[in-house]
Copies of this chain bind each other. A is one copy, B any other.
Amino acid sequence: MLRVILVEPEGEYNVGFVARLCKNFEVDQLYIVNPRCDLNKALEFSAKGRDFMEKVVVTSTLEEALRDLDLKISTSSIADSKGDMLRKSMPPWEIVKLMENRKTGLVFGRESVGLTREEILMTDIMVHIPANRSYPVLNLSHAVGIVLYEIWKSTHLRGGETGPAPSQ
């Protein structure tokens, strides 16, 4: 079971695109904590992910959105800052083996300021998508797309179809 959780998203296009991505990559649930944009306008960007907008669960706190989950994963554009264990992160392709048979939640932060330390501390692990060291900050829905793509690849394609071998 895979739940995508957006914390206080600010852009309706991002919310709509995430709903579409949930459909593209066969997510089970979309939760939004305290939305800061108009969810009706988000519909316009959701294309055939419309049903995720229609059944979206809105909560007022992250705690509620994390209830009942076995594995809680936060995401950040900042990886492995030295001396800050809170920021020790995993790449997206390593989380799949941890997800097996676990009700999993993926938590994504605000466009403006990401997730707070307190929010990150509520999760078990943190995922960072590696990118340009001088600018690894992806737009919210593009980060969601890449993480969901990696999970989908590992869970829906047979071995040998998922990418280059480590020795390449």
Contact = CB atoms under 8 A, between A and B. Distances in A.
A163 B160 contact: no
A79 interface: no
Interface in A54-75: none
Contacts of A141: 142
Interface stretch (A20-28, A35-43, A81-89, A114-122): A20-28
B137 A47 contact: yes
B130 A17 contact: no
Copies of this chain per assembly: 2
Contacts of A157: 130
B167 A137 contact: no
B164 A93 contact: yes
B164 A168 contact: no
A152 B136 CA distance: 12
B135 A23 contact: yes
Nearest to A168: B159
A106 to B, nearest CB: 16
27 contacts: A20-B138, A21-B139, A24-B132, A24-B138, A24-B142, A25-B132, A26-B132, A47-B139, A93-B164, A96-B164, A129-B149, A130-B156, A130-B157, A131-B152, A132-B152, A145-B145, A145-B146, A146-B146, A149-B149, A154-B164, A159-B164, A159-B166, A160-B166, A162-B164, A162-B166, A163-B164, A165-B165
Given A130-B152, A159-B168, 14 more contacts: A17-B139, A21-B142, A24-B132, A24-B137, A25-B131, A45-B139, A48-B137, A93-B162, A129-B149, A132-B152, A142-B145, A146-B146, A150-B163, A161-B166
